[in-house]
Amino acid sequence: MTLFDAHTITQVLAAALIGGIIGLDRTALGQFMISQPVVAGPLTGWLLGDVTAGLVIGGTLELIWVLDMPIGTFVPADSTVAAVAATAIAALGSTTPGQLPVIGFCLLLTVAMVPVTMFADHLMRQRNAQIPELAMTSSGRPTEASVTFWHFGGTVAFFLKAFLLCLALVPAGLVLVSGFLALPDAVHRAMSLFITFLPLLGAASVARKLSMNTLDRTLLIGFVIGAVSVQLFHVPELVAIMLAAGGGWMGMRFHGA
């Protein structure tokens, strides 16, 4: 079987379309946060037939990039394209759904995607600068129709940015995954282990941005409650999460935040 048969090409186009549509939510339309990796990843995985890949990739990337904020003119790394492209590569490049070594490798590939997505975003926003001038009619004044038309014209640029990025990144990733599959088993085991460590990096990224202290009291309260309730009292994890949140809340009430 060739790497890019008709079925795969169709799937790549579908992935690019998904990326383009979900990418609109990131800035241009709504901002309901469907574009956040924790949603975009599973949605892409579900549409391409590998929900596990989407859940793992989305959940992992979410905490790592969640506090990379779009403040003023700063455009952060496009975690949406990274999540969609990585999920699509994992879904289309795996021999079976939920293949953890491939998912881990795809997460590693997002490292290379980050600067590409930031550059593309920068270019696109520069191009959008001419839109307000275009909305002026020949009389030098805007009309409702011209403002509406050119304003929504901007969404085309946002769509194309994510669509074209996915269209380029997914096939490139598939080539790399086919090479990865031929590597020794130890490398595959390494990528499975990589998945275990990444949520800890996400936790560290969030804690770093939310607290001034490395040994933050609330972080440690949450850790102790989580560890003790699950390991000592065998409490279900969901209950442990609520207990930890409650513990953090109590700590804030009694000691101030």
Partner 1 sequence: MAHNAAAIRTVDLLGVFWRSFFIQASWSYDRMQSLGFAFTLIPVLRRLYPDREEFAGRLAVHMEYFNTQPYLASFVLGAAARAEEDRATGRNVAADVVELKKTLMAPLGALGDSFFWGSLKPFAASAAVAVLLTGAWWAPLLFLVLYNIVHVGLRLSLVFVGYETEGDVVVLMSRYNFTRLARRYKVLSLAIVGCIVGTLSAWGPEFRTSVPVFPPLLAAAGLVLTLGMIALLRVGASPVKLMLGLAAACLILALGGFA
Task: Enumerate residues 27-46 that contact partner 1 by CB under 8 A.
Answer: 27-34, 36, 38-39, 42-43
User: Cβ–Cβ contacts within 10 Å for residue 4, how many?
Assistant: 12
According to CB under 8 A, which one of 22, 63, 90, 170 is a site residue for partner 1? 63
Contact positions with partner 1 (CB under 8 A) in 208-227: 208-211, 214-216, 218-227
* Alpha carbon distance 115, 38 (integer Å): 21
Give Cα separations from 219 to 60, 89, 241 (angstroms). Answer: 19, 35, 12
**Only segment of 3-11, 13-21, 164-172, 229-237 that touches partner 1 (CB under 8 A):** 229-237
Q: Which is nearer to partner 1, 13 or 118 (CB)?
A: 118
The torsion angles phi and psi of 136, rounded to 5 degrees, stand at: -80, 130
Q: Which is nearer to partner 1, 8 or 146 (CB)?
A: 146
49 touches partner 1 by CB under 8 A: no
Contact 178, 93 (CB under 8 A): yes
Provide, rounded to whole angstroms, the least separation between the CB of residue 119 and partner 1: 14
Provide, rounded to whole angstroms, the least separation between the CB of residue 6 and partner 1: 31
User: Cβ–Cβ contacts within 10 Å for residue 204, how many?
Assistant: 14
| 136: β partners | 142
Q: Which is nearer to partner 1, 13 or 21 (CB)?
A: 21
Contact positions with partner 1 (CB under 8 A) in 103-132: 103, 107-108, 110-111, 114, 125-132
231 touches partner 1 by CB under 8 A: yes
Closest CA relative to residue 50, chosen from 6, 8, 13, 99: 99
Contact 205, 124 (CB under 8 A): no
Q: Which is nearer to partner 1, 1 or 32 (CB)?
A: 32
Q: Which is nearer to partner 1, 12 or 57 (CB)?
A: 57
Contact positions with partner 1 (CB under 8 A) in 133-192: 135-136, 139, 141-144, 147-148, 150-155, 158, 186-187, 189-192
Q: Which is nearer to partner 1, 12 or 86 (CB)?
A: 86
| 142: β partners | 136
Closest CA relative to residue 56, chosen from 227, 197, 212, 215: 197
Contact 55, 186 (CB under 8 A): no
23 touches partner 1 by CB under 8 A: no
